[in-house]
């Protein structure tokens, strides 16, 4: 009999305990309910969900919150492009302005054979670590170290190391800009997705010096500047750069460049994946 009473007491107290806790939680859920703007989950759903941080917020949910608060534009998501911007703008009840789709481009053409080495680096396989050691293994102070710090930060798996330098696969690149921030040499740039033409060098040394450590570095000969009919390409700080608002993608500078470092989508056969110069020269 005593056993039965014990069991009944246990049953009684646990039903009470469970019931009290359950009711307390139910009440707490009502009392402490936080009002969430119903647009936030809707927008979060429309965003790509990669949480890449390309917009400057910690993730897609954080961006959705910022959009609803009015801190960010509906077109702030660089990955989603205009399709997402339209959908988000529809939820917010405003008209979208189309974002320019960007892509990352590694501004270096100095592969293993072409760029001279300062020393043989055998440390941690990381560009930031290598850049602390006399600026990395390559003599060029603005050359791609090629140890793949950009590869490891890319949330879309769009970057590969090919023959000592990073190459971006544009079919995968969403233009989030993580690699741009990560590169210790600051030689990855975001360019418009349909830019068509870019200068594959960021060497700001004088021509003779550049020539001494890289076979393809920009020697600031200004051939491209003279060839360009629309005035889009200029040599400043001993390196050519293109103003994409003026560039007509005529491709004349690509042909004229004696160092073959002005690249175009056509010259780079498979979009951004191959950097084989012999194949190119043969054409």
Partner 1 sequence: MGEYFINILLLMLTAVLVENYIFSKFLGICPFLGVSDKPDTALGMGFAVMFVMTLSSAATWAVYHLILVPFHLEYLETIAFILIIASLVQFIEMFLRKFIPALYGALGIYLPLITTNCAVLGAALINIQNNYDFIQSLAYGFASAAGFTLAIVIFAGVRVRISFADPPKSFRGIPIAMIAASLIAMAFSGFSGMSF
Binding residues for partner 1, per CB under 8 A?
A: 6, 9-10, 13-14, 17-18, 21-22, 24-25, 28-29, 31-34, 124-126, 129
Structure-token match 């979060």, residue found? 44
In this complex, which beta carbon is closest to partner 1, that of residue 121 or of residue 213? Answer: 121
- Per-position DSSP letters for 74-130, written without gaps between them: TT--TTTHHHHHHHHHHHHTS---PPPPEEEEE-----TTTBPBSS---S-S-HHHH
Cβ at position 121, least distance to partner 1 in Å: 13
Rounded to 5°, the CA angle 181-275-144 comes to: 35
Contact 116, 123 (CB under 8 A): no
Cβ at position 152, least distance to partner 1 in Å: 11
How far apart are alpha carbons 152 and 165 in whole angstroms? Answer: 14
Cβ at position 176, least distance to partner 1 in Å: 21
In this complex, which beta carbon is closest to partner 1, that of residue 108 or of residue 147? Answer: 147
Cβ at position 74, least distance to partner 1 in Å: 24
Cβ at position 59, least distance to partner 1 in Å: 11
In this complex, which beta carbon is closest to partner 1, that of residue 126 or of residue 225? Answer: 126
Token digits of residue 120: 């043989």
In this complex, which beta carbon is closest to partner 1, that of residue 7 or of residue 94? Answer: 7
In this complex, which beta carbon is closest to partner 1, that of residue 18 or of residue 157? Answer: 18
Closest Cα partner for 231 from 239, 220, 241?
A: 241
Cβ at position 203, least distance to partner 1 in Å: 29
Q: How far out from the chain centre does Cα 75 lie?
A: 17
In this complex, which beta carbon is closest to partner 1, that of residue 16 or of residue 94? Answer: 16
Phi, psi of 89, rounded to the nearest 5 degrees: -65, -35
Structure-token match 């590169």, residue found? 183
């Amino acid at each position: 009999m005593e056993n039965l009473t014990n069991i009944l007491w246990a049953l009684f107290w646990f039903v009470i305990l469970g019931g009290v806790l359950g009711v307390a939680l139910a009440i707490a859920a009502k009392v402490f309910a936080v009002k969430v703007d119903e647009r936030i989950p809707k927008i979060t759903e429309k965003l790509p969900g990669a949480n890449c941080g390309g917009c400057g917020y910690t993730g897609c949910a954080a961006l959705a919150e910022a959009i609803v608060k009015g801190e960010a534009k509906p077109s702030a998501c660089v990955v989603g492009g205009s399709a997402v911007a339209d959908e988000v703008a529809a939820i917010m009840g405003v008209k979208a302005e189309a974002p320019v789709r960007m892509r990352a481009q590694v501004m270096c053409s100095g592969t293993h054979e072409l760029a001279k080495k300062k020393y043989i680096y055998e440390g941690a396989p990381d560009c930031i670590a290598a850049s602390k050691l006399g600026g990395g293994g390559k003599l060029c102070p603005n050359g791609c170290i090629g140890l793949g710090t950009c590869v490891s930060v890319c949330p879309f798996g769009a970057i590969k190391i090919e023959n000592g330098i990073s190459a971006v696969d544009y079919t995968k690149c969403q233009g989030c800009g993580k690699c741009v921030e990560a590169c210790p040499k600051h030689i990855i740039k975001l360019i418009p997705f349909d830019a068509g033409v870019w200068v594959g060098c960021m060497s700001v040394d004088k021509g003779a010096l550049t020539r001494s450590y890289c076979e393809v570095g920009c020697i600031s000969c200004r051939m491209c500047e003279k060839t360009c009919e629309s005035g889009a390409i200029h040599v400043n700080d001993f390196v050519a750069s293109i103003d994409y608002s003026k560039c007509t993608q005529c491709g004349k500078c690509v042909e004229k460049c004696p160092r073959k470092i002005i690249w175009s989508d056509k010259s780079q056969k498979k979009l951004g994946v191959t950097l084989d110069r012999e194949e190119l020269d043969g054409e």
